[in-house]
Amino acid sequence: MMGYSDSNKDGGYFSANWALYRAQRELAHLADRHHIQLRMFHGKGGTIDRGGGMSHRSLLAQPHAAHEARIRITEQGEVISLKYANPVIARRNLEQLTTGVMDAYCLGLEKHQVAPEWEACMGEMASTSKAVYRHLVYETPEFETYFWEGTPIDLVEVLRIGSRPTRRAHTRDLRQLRAIPWVFAWTQSRHLLPSWYGIGTALEKAANAHGYDLIEAMYRDWPFFSMLIDNAEASLAKTDLYIAGRYASLVGDASVRTRIFSTIQCEYERSVTMVKAITGHPDLLHSQPRLAESIRLRNPYIDPLHYIQVHHLQAWRTDPKAKDNDALRRLLALTVNGIAFGMKS
């Protein structure tokens, strides 16, 4: 089974996806050598940082994912209604998945003769982004405080979103937090940090070391890398640091709030700059106008929900009686549901 959520939480977006790509390829080669029928089970979620995205394109970018046209995929509860409640949309999704498997089997491997210098560069970028990501998330002591106070993670816990407890042990140690609430909390607060943090520094360092021409060629001619960049671009477009700043205002220690938020802001700006430089796009989502228009139309409806959530979340945390206020709890639950649906791709 290929686990997308936990690998992303442990090492960040670039590192997790590169490790999964290599693992799938090596397993496929091993199965071929020993004449074993291999069916990979992909445990994906609905968001980019949990392996979500367009199934057809994902299969073409990673042809070993459907080895010999065999594949198994988890469809999370969060996306079942969106993909299968409407018969027309359900049929389209199944057609795209089937077509993706067949295209990857018949055509994908021929198109995936990856240049050694591309793989070497991707490996360097994965290492760089992982180091940047882990330095912030696991090696910066104040980050735990920022996360627990600057996102609605405590609200996510109380509402019991997901099939399992949010933490493996009752501690604030982020290593004990499960991947689903981790991603959910960052999405609710409009940081979307797991789906892009670290890529700006990685792209910048690689471009300085190897030249922009190499990175641009990777984006143009390597489906795996172009998918990575385009998915990150979509997440960057949905990130809103002005609203994220409102959630950051909930962090009690001003020095922690300022330090962590400014670090996130710098990496966000670097990531946007580098993605636009590599893609040649003047704006984010220039090549995905439908998604750009969808985000533009949804934001006026989602944004007020964020303000309502932040305002009442502060009261819910500080007023001892608020936890027993059913009306307040229902209101906060409605904001969570509204934001979650509005942030879907």
pLDDT 10s digits, 310-325 = 999 998 998 888 878 8
Provide mean pLDDT across the span 21-49. 77
76 and 173 co-located in one domain: no
The dihedral through the CA atoms of 307, 342, 241, 76 has a sign that is positive
Distances (CA, A) of 292 to 166, 233, 343: 32, 11, 12
Task: Specify whether 58 is located in the same domain as 146.
Answer: no
Of 111, 144, 159, the residue that ends a domain is 111
Give, for 2, the enclosing helix (H) or strand (E).
strand 2-3
Please check whether residues 69 and 138 belong to one and the same domain. Answer: no
Same domain, 107 and 136: no
Rg (CA), the chain: 20
Q: Is the same domain home to 250 and 314? A: yes
Distance from chain centroid for Cα 74: 17
Domain co-membership, 139 together with 83: no
Residues 185, 153: contact at Cβ < 8 Å? Answer: yes
Same domain, 222 and 313: yes
Task: Return the C-alpha torsion angle 82, 89, 226, 112, nearest 10.
Answer: 120
Predicted TM-score of the model (pTM): 0.87
Q: Looking at residue 46, what DSSP letter applies?
A: S
Same domain, 129 and 89: no
Report residue 41: phi and psi, to 5°.
Answer: -105, 115
What is the rounded distance in angstroms from the CA atom of residue 121 to the CA atom of residue 123?
5
Question: Do 245 and 323 fall into the same domain?
Answer: yes
Domain range spanning residue 42? 2-111
Taking residues 89-99, report their average pLDDT.
86
Crossing angle for the helix pair 289-318 and 223-238, to the nearest 10 degrees: 50
At 170, the pLDDT band (50, 70, 90 cuts) reads confident
Total domains, the chain: 2
Cα separation, 274 vs 219, whole angstroms? 12
Residue where a domain terminates, one of 111, 145, 180 = 111
Query: Quick one: what percent of the chain has pLDDT higher than 90?
Result: 57
- Residue 101 shares a structural domain with residue 207: no
**Across 92-96, 164-168, 270-274, least confident range:** 164-168
Beta bridge pairs of residue 3: 43
Using pLDDT thresholds of 50, 70 and 90, give the confidence band for residue 25. confident
- Report the chain's mean pLDDT, rounded to a whole number: 87
**Segment 117-144 mean pLDDT:** 97
Q: Who has greater pLDDT, 112 or 192? A: 192
Distance, CA of 248 to CA of 163 (rounded, Å): 28
Six token digits for residue 21: 């790509």
Q: How confident is the model at residue 226 (pLDDT cuts 50, 70, 90)?
A: very high
Alpha helices, DSSP H, located in 222-253: 223-238, 241-248
Q: Is 193 exposed, middle or buried (0-12, 13-18, 19+ CB in 10 A)?
A: buried
What per-residue confidence (pLDDT) applies to 49?
Answer: 43
pLDDT value for 161: 65
Give the whole-angstrom CA distance, residue 266 versus residue 202.
14
On the question of pLDDT at 50 being above 50, the answer is no
Q: Which residues contact 63 (CB under 8 A, 6 or more apart)?
A: 104, 105, 108, 109, 112
Q: What is the mean pLDDT of residues 54-71?
A: 67
Distance CA 310, CA 303 (A): 11
* Pair 154, 182 in one domain: yes
- pLDDT on residue 225: 95
DSSP letter assigned to residue 244 = H
| Mean pLDDT across 204-225 | 96
Structure confidence at residue 162 (pLDDT): 59
Whether residue 134 is found in the same domain as residue 82: no
Answer with the one of 88, 111, 134 that is the final residue of a domain: 111
Element (H, E) at 43: strand 40-43
Residue 160 has pLDDT above 70, yes or no: no
CA distances from 249 to 186, 223, 243, 312 (A): 15, 40, 10, 13
Q: What is the pLDDT of residue 51?
A: 44
Which tokens go with 304? 């007020």
